Each structure stands twice: as C-alpha cells, then as structure tokens.
Amino acid sequence: MKLVSKRNLFTGVVIIAMLLVLIPPVYTYLSGRQKIYKDVTKVDKHRVGIVLGAGVTLDYEPAEMLRDRLDEAVMLYESGKIDRLLLSGNDSDLTRNETTVMYEYLTKEKGIPAEILMIDPYGNRTYDTCIRAKRFFAVDEAILITQGYHLPRAIQLCTELGLDAVGISATEKHYFGESFFKFREFFAIHKAYIDLYLITPDYIGR
C-alpha cells in the first residue's frame, strides 16, 4: 500500500512538473498567435513600429535576420501603417553599435526620413525593449517587428508591461542557426514569466 502511494505521489509530481514546463510556452504561443500578422496589408495602422535588434556583421551591416526586420519596417512605413519607428538594440562596442547600423541602413540605403526614427541603444533584451518603449518613449501601442518565432514572447512581454502590441513576422526564409534560436526561445519564455511575475529585473534607465 505504501509502495503504491509513493508511486502515485511520484507520478503526481512528474505530471505537475511537466505542466509547469509546458503550460507557459503553450499559453504564450496560443495567445500571441491571435496578434501576429504575415501580410502588411492586413495590419491596422499604428503610430509606432518597434524593430528589435538581431545582430550586426563584422562589416557593420545588419545581420540577415535584422535586415529582414528592417525591410519589413520599411514596407510598413511606405504602406502608411506606421508614422514612426523605434529602433531598439544594444549599442555597445561588443555588439558593433547595433542601433547605429540600423539607423544608417534605413536612412542611407532605404531613404527613410531621419525625423521619424527613435533610437533606443539600451534594448539589451526583449524585456528592456518593451519596458523602455513604454516608460521612456511614451509608446502606448505598437507593431512589433521581428521573426515569427520571437513574436509570441515579445507580444506577451510588451502587453504585460502596459504596451498594447501586435506583431508582424519578418521571417522571409530559413536562417542559419534558426533551429537553435527556436530551441532557446522555449527557455526564454520561462525567463519572461520569471521577469514578469516573480523577480523584476533591473534595466538601464530604471
């Protein structure tokens, strides 16, 4: 009898653990899916689009993922879907001045007016991007521009931090290392729940 009880207890613990591991990403993906667009023409007009950083090459050019995000932002602007763009990334020497590269790509190569661009060089993480957009750039609603696998978490973070967000997928192809990024996203979602509901992280400007 005691052996059966121990087995039942062990089974119960395993089930609870599995639920705790699976529920956050499943909920995040299901809820975020409702707010993700793939077609620029289907998106409602928003005042601001937020481009999340995604790396810079050794030649100080946008990495492939980032270039696709920036090109998507250009399409949104030229289609009249947004009035302004917030470029959020890490502008340290280690990341090769990410937002500076984003700014120059949009203004010099794509002809986007400099006056519609806002720069956040301290968007070190998605959490930082969302909370700084709300608190320091006074953004209340926005279109998030990043790859599709990243959007559910980004939308949830921004929404929970008080920014009404939808997203448009900038996924144009299969990227090198994409499987790793998708695998990492599973754990990043759990970290987002910790940041939102358990341990509020520090961020620059707080």
Q: Any residues with CB less than 8 A from the CB of 103 and at least 6 apart, and which? A: 87, 114, 117, 119
- pTM (two decimals): 0.86
pLDDT of residue 13 exceeding 80: no
Question: Which residues touch 20 (CB under 8 Å, ≥6 apart)?
Answer: none
CB 131 within 8 A of CB 111: no
* Dihedral sign of CA atoms 106, 107, 110, 112 in order: positive
165, part of any domain = yes
Domain at 164, CATH number? 3.40.50.620
Residue 160 falls within a domain, yes or no?
yes
Q: Does residue 13 lie in a domain region?
A: yes
Question: Contacts for 174-178 with beta carbons within 8 Å, 24 or more apart?
Answer: 175/64, 175/65, 175/147, 176/64, 178/149
Residue 1, pLDDT above cutoff 50:
no
* Cα atoms in the 13 Å half-sphere on the side-chain side of 180: 3
Domain range spanning residue 90? 2-197
What percent of the chain has a predicted confidence (pLDDT) above 90? 58
Which of the pair, 157 or 32, is modelled with greater confidence?
157
Task: Please indicate, yes or no, if residue 206 is contained in any of the structural domains.
Answer: no
Contacts of 131 (CB under 8 A, 6+ apart): 161, 203
Neighbouring CB atoms inside 10 A of 6's CB total 10
The span from the CA of 117 to the CA of 103, in Å, is 8
Q: What is the mean pLDDT of residues 25-53?
A: 86
Q: What is the CA radius of gyration of the chain?
A: 19
- What the block records as the tokens of 187 is 């754990």
Q: What is the pLDDT of residues 110-152, one digit of tens each?
A: 999 999 999 999 999 999 999 999 999 999 999 999 999 999 9
* In-domain check, residue 203: no
- Top-confidence residue, 3 or 41: 41
> How many structural domains does the chain have?
1
- Indicate whether 185 pLDDT > 90: no
Q: What is the pLDDT of residue 206?
A: 55
Number of neighbouring beta carbons within 10 Å of residue 133: 26
